[in-house]
Chains A and B, each alone.
Chain A
Amino acid sequence: MASATTEARAARRGLRLGRFGTLIGRRFRFIVIQLLGAATLAFFLIRMVPGDPARVLAGPAASPATLAELRRHLGLDDSLPVQYVRYLGNLLRGDLGTSLTTGQDVSADLWQRGPATLELILFALLVSMLIGVPLGVALARRREKRSGKAIFGYAMFSGSIPDFWLALILLYLFSFKWEIFPPPIGRLGFETPPDRITGMYTVDALVTGDLATFWLAAQHLALPVITLTLVYSGLIVKVANASSEQAFGAGFVDLYTSAGVRSTLALRRATRLALPPVITVAAITNGFLLGGAVLVEQVFAWGGVGQYAVQAVRGADFAAIQGFIVMAAFFNIANYLIADIAMLGVDPRLGRTES
């Protein structure tokens, strides 16, 4: 009996792993289509620009010789399908073309600036979750109280605040007026950044044990992160509130209470039930944060990919724009993939009832 049981369990586990695998497999197929679609859309988007693509890419100041050279270099004399295939090939090799404004490879530009934006977004997401989730959960029990109403009101209003405007207000108050935080000149002011390991200054400074630099980087990060948190945590509060309210009121909590189970254990089980919507909203927020970062970076002269993109738009630097949006789409897709995988771990319904 015992061995038969073990066998049955093993078989069952194998089956589950199989379903898990197909689920991931299906997800990956979907992602490949999405990536390809995003790359394709970016390709045709840039070709929607009226006029000669070579002139568009090289800028209005280019000489006819340069244009001809560029046209040959880009293969613009070839047919569109040939160009498209070549574009995809280049993309696979990480070649995004050359930026008009910096004169460098777009991929090199993005690689250089990426960590700045990533640091900003990740910290903003982290702080938003750390504040938003407990707040939403706490609210589930005090909707009627005044403090609950105030927080809920803010959560509703926060999404309507223009992030770039809030950044300016905070800057004016905390930097210009009260001089609590450093002025908006990038990530470290005029200090030398730490050696690049991840490119995120706070992380690199910590890894190399340079606490002074870490402190400085954190001070510079504070205002942009606070800005993004104030605007984007509202959504997290709302979702965490709704999902925990539902989980705490779930029937099984009632059953556990009836059996006299410790409330801490019931809460722990409810947490798992409340997690999936929170994971989803984290992924969505991360996408929003990239958009928000474009604007907020502008205000703080952050020097990340967001500011690079704005510069590219102003300078009609289309290779850079194309590179940036392809990167943004890839970031977003990766983001959802991570959320999906996390979700599979949390919610067994996903792996099983599919058939």
Chain B
Amino acid sequence: MSALVLDDFTVRVGDEALLGGVSLELAEGRTHAVIGERGSSKTVLLRCLAGMWPEGADVDGTLRADGLDLVSLTARQRLAARRERLLYLPPSGREALNPVERIDQHFLDVCSVRAGWTDSRRRVRRESLLAEAAAALTKLGIADPERVLASIPDELSGGMRKRALIAMALLLKPAVLAADDPTSGLDVTISRQILDLLAEMQGAEGFTLVIATQDLGIVAHYASTITVLKSGTVVEHTDPVSFFAHPASDTGAAMLARARV
């Protein structure tokens, strides 16, 4: 079954087409890679998968995510749809975190919309939720999660902030997780560790993971499909084996050639 179905999905802002007629079917419970040069609208596509249209955009075509027809929904409905179902994970921990709030507050806020959260049980929830957060951070290879939770973003390194973001995604358990460049700024060991963890979680929970990346090594290891974007259109959609053997598109071939050097 397909978790994500796009049919002639188009996004325009003014005269400019950010996404021009994208048609894709991405299977449930798998990892899908979206690659492309800078400015190929990878981020726009990933945000749209979570129902986040660009500001002032005209959206056309079909986009079904986890059974929901996102295009027909209002902004409010899409916001509600994202709770527990869809999540777009921004690339930079530095930008995505609030500089004046502690990390634990981010966890509490972001998880405040999870089912079962009630104000009367706030106290209980808070403790158990922070314990969950600490456990997630530990899994991501952080030795002292308590310290991280009690810190403000400025006190953490880039890698720490990034892992805090991913831990939030793990707690939110979306059906579709669109992770924008989840390994940028991390060293190879940690990148692998994080992706292994995501793959393991995927085995257990069965969520669909879409990652945008420039790192073909990751694509080769984890992805079951590869989508190559070029200025907002899909120029290639295939599986890794055939991609690495014979990239069909110029963009794919160029990226592959660069990765081999």
Contacts and interface: CB of A to CB of B under 8 A. Distances in A.
Contacts of B2: none
Contacts of B154: 349, 352-353
Interface residues on B, range: 35 or more
Contacts of A260: 79-84, 113
A195 interface: no
B110 A259 contact: yes
B22 interface: no
A3 interface: no
B82 A347 contact: no
Given A252-B106, A269-B98, A262 B113 contact: yes
A163 to B, nearest CB: 35
A259 B113 contact: yes
Interface in A241-268: 250-252, 254-263, 265
Contact of B100 (A9, A256, A265, A347): A347
A37 to B, nearest CB: 33
A259 B155 contact: no
A265 B52 contact: no
Given A251-B97, A252-B97, A261 B109 contact: yes
A258 B99 contact: no
Contacts of B110: 255-256, 259, 261
Contacts, number: 87
Nearest to B106: A252
A346 interface: yes
B96 interface: yes
Interface in A192-232: none
Interface in A320-355: 346-349, 352-353
A352 B97 contact: no
A9 B150 contact: yes
Contacts of B155: 352-353
Given A252-B98, A259-B172, 15 more contacts: A5-B146, A8-B147, A9-B146, A9-B150, A254-B96, A255-B110, A257-B79, A258-B90, A260-B79, A260-B81, A260-B84, A261-B109, A261-B113, A273-B98, A273-B100
Interface of B: 50, 52, 79-84, 87-90, 92, 94-102, 106, 109-110, 112-113, 146-147, 150, 152, 154-155, 165, 168, 172
Interface of A: 5, 8-9, 12, 250-252, 254-263, 265, 269, 272-273, 346-349, 352-353
